[in-house]
Structure 1
C-alpha cells in the first residue's frame, strides 16, 4: 500500500471513529439535541487534518471556516475538523482555542460562525481529570467543531430548554458512570 493510500485508510478510520462517537455518545446519549438532524441529513463535513504544527492547523482552520461560510447550509451546516497529529496535549489544545477565536475575528466571521471544542482529555475548570462530566466534551481525537450561529439560534428556538442542556448532560453521564461509558464501546482516546 502506498503512502497516499495508507493515509486515506487512516483518515477513513479516524472519521469512522468520530462518527461512531457522534452516534453513540453525542446523539445516543442526547448530549446535543441538535446533532441528530444534521447527521441524518448528512450536513456534517468531516475533515481530517494532516497538520503537525499549530501553525499548519491554524491555516487549515481558516480554510475550513471560509469553506463553511461560503457553503450552502442545506449542503454543509457544520464541520468537524479532526486533528489527530497536533495539540494532543489538552492544555496546548485549550490555549489554541484563543487562536481559533482570534481567527474568527480576523476573518470577520465572528457572529456568523463559532468554534466548539472536543478533545480526548477534555477537562472543565475545577474538575478532576476523571470526572465523568468531562466526557460531555471527550472525543476520540482532538476536534474543532465549526458551527453556524444561525443554526444554533434556530436549534435553540426549537429546543426551549437549551440553557439546561449542560446540566442534563452531567446528570446523564453521572447516571451512566464510567462503566456505562465504557460499555458504549467507543474507541479509546487517541
Structure 2
C-alpha cells in the first residue's frame, strides 16, 4: 500500500512539475512571439499612397494617437500637438497647400504632427519625428496604410497649414500623414545596407 502511495505521489509531483514547465514554456513562447511580431511590424512598414473609401474606425484612431504619444522626448517635455483631420474639404485643401501630400484628398483621415517651440525650441523636431514613426508603426500594426509628407521647413506649406487650421505662431506643422485602408497591396522595401554600419570607428 505504501509503495502504491509512493508511486502515486511521485506521479502527482511529476505532473505538477510538467504543468509548471509547460506553462513557463508557453509564456516564453508567447513573449518571443510578441517580440517577433514587433520586429516584423517594423520591417513590414511601407509607404501607402492609395486608399479605399472605407472609413477608419475611431477605436483605431484612438490607438494610433496613444501610440504616437508614447514616443520619447528630450527631457520628457512632450512638445507635440496633433491635428486629426477627417473633414473632406480640409483634406482636399491640404492637397492644394502641400502638393507632396496630394494623397490626402483620397484618404479618409490625415494626421498633422506639430511641435510647440515654446515648450522645446531645441528638440521639438526630433521629438515630433519620434511621434511620427510611432504613428507609422501603429498604422502598420492596424492593417492601415500611411505616408509621411513633409510640411516643415517649407515656409509656404507651414503658412498654408497654419492658416487653414488657425495654428498659433509657436506651433509648427512638421508633417502631414494621410491614413486609410490600402487600396493596393504594397510591399516593404529592403533598406538594410551593411556598408552603412560602422563599428568602433568609421
Give the TM-score of the pair, scaled to structure 2: 0.28
- Bigger relative contact order, structure 1 or 2, given CA contacts below 8 A and separation 6+? 2
| TM-score computed with the length of structure 1 as normaliser | 0.30
Please identify the structure whose Cα radius of gyration is greater.
Answer: 2
